[in-house]
Chains A and B, each alone.
Chain A
C-alpha cells in the first residue's frame, strides 16, 4: 500500500462512527474504546499527520491487535486495519520501539528457530517414518505441531500414509516466519524465509503440505511478496484431503460438529470450503455453523503475539469462541490450525471436544463405526 493511500484510509477510519467495533475481539476483551479498529486508526492517523506522536501506550494499543481482519469484513470502505497495523509495527521494530515482551519470541526464533525456545534438535522427535512407497510429499510441520501439538503432526503423517503418500520431514525446517512478519520483525522473518526456501527447494518431496495456516499464509502470500520463491506447490492439509474425499473413512461421531475458521486460512487465504467438505465426508453430517463463521468467523484469540503479551485477554476471546460453539449445541469443535486448536482446547475444558482436522480424520480411520472420545 502506498503511503498516500494508507493515510487516506486512516483519515476515513479516524472519523468513522465505530461501525465495526462490535465485531473486534479486542474490544470484547478489554471493553474499552482504546483497542478497537477506529482507535488504532486514529492513533496512526494522528502520528502520520503530526498531531500527536505514538507514545508507549499507543504502541501497546497497536500491539493489542490480533490482525484478524474481522473489522475488514464489516468495513464498507474496506479500510485494512490489520495491514496498516502490521506496517506500523515494522516501523516500530526498526526504531526499537516495540513491547519488550516480544523479545522472547524473536530471540527464540533467532537462536532456536521456533518461538517456544525449544531446542531445534527436538523439532522432529515426534516423527516416525512410515513404510509407504508412494508419491513423495514433504510435511512442513510448523512450530506448534512440532513442539506442542504432536498429535496433529502424527495424525497428519498417518493419514497421508493411509492415502498412499511417502511422507518426509526435514531436519532443516525453521519457523516459517509468520510470528515475525505479524509482529513487525520483518528482517528476521526474511532470514527464516530464505533458509526455508533453500531447504524446501532442495528437498525430495514433489509437493509441500502444511497443517498450520500461519505457515500456509507465509509460504503463499508473504514469501512471494518478498520475492522469495518456493518452487513446489504448497497445499494446506484441508485442500489436500479435499482431493481425496472418497478415500476418507466415514464414521459416526455421535454429536453435532462445528467448525472454527482460522483467520489465516479463512479471511487471509480464502479457504473456507475444503475443511467443511472433509468434516462432512468423515462424519456423514453437515457442519453446524456458529453464528459467526466463514468471512465473519471470530478469531480464537491466539493471533499476532496476543497470547504472549496479553494472556488474560487472549483467554477471554478464546472463551467467547468456545461459548459460540456451545450456543449451537456442538459436541465437537473442529478447526484446521494447530495454533487455534491449542488455544480453543485450553479454554474448552470438558465442555467440548476440540480437534484439529487431521486428528478428526485419523479418529475416523482408527474407529470401526463409531468414534469413542
Chain B
C-alpha cells in the first residue's frame, strides 16, 4: 500500500489525466479487481480470506493516457499492474505491492480490418469474443480460440503468450501477432511494425509478447486473420494407452497434416470427461481431432489421419466425442458444487516438451503430484510436429485452509521440479504470474540473467508488475 502523501499526489495527477470518472480508489472496486482466475485466489475467496488490494484502479482510453499514467507512476515509484480481462490463471493481475491497477478494458476499439493483407488492428482491451465475432462478420477468423475467449482480452492474450485450442493449425498468439504498440515504464511509446517477416536484427515484438506486464503495457496489436474455413470435420479415435496415441499424433504431423485440434485424453481424463457421454473401455485414451479447410482437403487429411490412428491400434469413434467436446468446451470451467466444496482447490500445470521427453515428463509429474493425494488427470492439449503440451490437472481437498493451501503449493513445487528434471518447460500458454514466479530462474537457466538485465534497463525503478515472472519485489 502507498503512503498517504504519495497516494494523494498520485490521485491528483491521475485525475488530471483521465478525469474524475475513469479511476477509483474505492475499496469495493479494489476487492473486485484483486483476483484474476487463479484457482488459489478463487479458493481463498470462497474460504473468506482477503487478497492484496491496489490503491488506485485506472481505466485509460488511449495510448496517450497510458503513457502519461506510466510517467507519473515512474516519477512517484508506484507499482503498475496491467489488467486485461482479469481471467488469467496465474495471479498475474494480483497487486502484490498495491499501487495502480491499469485496467485496459475501455480500450476496446477494432481499428481496421484489412482483407487484402489479412490483418486486423485492434486495441488491447478488446475482449476476445468481441473481436472474433466482428471478424467473423467479415468472413474471417483470428484462429485464436482459447477457452478464455469470452473473458480475456487481446492485451492479456499477448502478455501471457496464450494459445487457442486450434494452435496446431493456426499457431499461438506469438505466431498470430504481427505488429505491436507498447508503452514502457518511462512513458515512451514503442511500435513494432506489422510485417510478415523481417531481417532487421532480433524480433523485438517477441520481447514484449509474454512479458506479463513486467516490461511494458501493450496498447494495440495487429493480428493475423484467416478466411473462415469452408468446412470443419471432427474425428475421434480411442487408443489403448497414451503411448500409442502419441505415436499416431507424431505420424500424422510427419505426413504433413496439420489438424486444427489434436487432444489426447489420458485414461483418467477420458473416464471423467468422455465416458460420461460415450461408451469407452476402462483405461482407454480418447484422441480428439478436427480438420479445417476446403472439403476436398479436409477429406484427404481426415482419411489419412484415421488410417494412421487405426494402424496404431485405435478404435474409430467417428465425430462423436470430438464434436461433443468442441460444442461443450466451455463447460468444464464453470464452478461445480463438488469442486468448490470445503477447502478444495485444483489447478492445471500446462507444461510443454519435445516428443523425446513428453511421455517421461507426463509419467513423472503424475507420480509426484499423486504422491500428495491429489487426483490427477491429463490431456495432451496442443500438439505440433516437434512435441506438445500437457494439461496436468490436479485436484485436492483438505480439512482446513492452511493444509489445503500448503498441499497446493507442494504439488506445484514437486510437479514443476519433475517437469524441469525430465526436460520439459513449465508453461505452454498460461504464463508465469505469481504461481510460477519462483520457478522462473530454474526454468530459464542462463537466459534468466538476460531477462533480468533487460528488465533493469527498461524498468530501472521496478514499477512494472513487480513480483511476477520471477522478477522480484518492488523496491
Contacts and interface: CB of A to CB of B under 8 A. Distances in A.
Interface of A: 8, 11-19, 21-22, 31-34, 36, 39, 42-43, 45-46, 49-52, 55, 57-58, 61, 75-77, 291, 327
B108 A31 contact: yes
Given A34-B28, A55-B28, A75-B334, A18 B87 contact: yes
A75 B334 CA distance: 8
A32 B103 contact: yes
B151 A19 contact: yes
B37 A18 contact: yes
Contact of B337 (A8, A31, A39, A58): A8
Contacts of B340: 11-12, 15
B32 A15 contact: no
A42 B32 contact: yes
Interface stretch (B38-46, B411-419, B438-446): B38-46
A58 B86 contact: no
Contacts of A76: 331, 334
B453 interface: no
Given A22-B129, A33-B103, A15 B333 contact: no
A46 B106 CA distance: 27
B105 interface: yes
B27 A55 contact: yes
A166 B129 CA distance: 51
B123 to A, nearest CB: 12
Given A12-B340, A15-B340, A51-B50, 8 more contacts: A15-B43, A31-B125, A32-B57, A32-B103, A34-B29, A42-B32, A55-B28, A57-B29
Contacts of A55: 27-28
Given A32-B29, A33-B33, A52-B31, A19 B330 contact: yes
Nearest to A58: B28
B334 A19 contact: yes
A208 B82 CA distance: 56
Contact of A57 (B26, B85, B125, B148): B26
22 contacts: A8-B337, A15-B42, A15-B46, A15-B340, A16-B335, A17-B87, A19-B150, A19-B333, A19-B334, A22-B127, A22-B129, A33-B33, A34-B28, A34-B29, A36-B32, A42-B32, A42-B45, A43-B32, A46-B31, A50-B48, A77-B337, A291-B133
Interface string B110-138: 00000000000000010101100100010
Given A43-B32, A57-B29, A31 B86 contact: no
Contacts of B4: none
A35 to B, nearest CB: 9
Interface string B83-98: 1011101000000000
A75 B383 CA distance: 31
B48 A51 contact: yes
Contacts of B127: 22
Given A17-B87, A18-B151, A22-B151, A32 B59 contact: yes
A291 B129 CA distance: 13
Interface of B: 26-29, 31-33, 37, 42-43, 45-46, 48-50, 57, 59, 83, 85-87, 89, 103, 105-106, 108, 125, 127, 129-130, 133, 137, 148, 150-151, 330-331, 333-337, 340
A133 B258 CA distance: 74
B70 to A, nearest CB: 20
A112 to B, nearest CB: 33
The 3 closest A-B pairs by CB, nearest first: A17-B37, A15-B42, A57-B28
Contacts of B336: 12, 77
Given A42-B45, A46-B31, A57-B28, A31 B334 contact: no
Given A32-B103, A52-B31, A77-B336, A17 B125 contact: no
Contacts of A39: 32
B273 to A, nearest CB: 14
Contacts of A291: 133
B401 to A, nearest CB: 13
Contacts of B49: 51
Contacts of B45: 14-15, 42, 45-46
A277 B423 CA distance: 64
A343 B446 CA distance: 62
Nearest to B105: A31
A89 to B, nearest CB: 16
Contacts of B43: 15
B59 A31 contact: yes
Contact of A61 (B28, B59, B330): B28
A336 B408 CA distance: 53
A42 B335 CA distance: 14
A77 B28 contact: no
A8 to B, nearest CB: 7
Nearest to B108: A31
Given A12-B340, A15-B43, A22-B127, A49 B32 contact: no
Nearest to A75: B334
Given A16-B334, A55-B28, A11 B46 contact: yes
Contacts of B86: 18, 33
B147 to A, nearest CB: 10
A299 B108 CA distance: 21
Given A11-B46, A19-B151, A31-B106, A57 B335 contact: no
Contacts of A32: 29, 57, 59, 103, 105
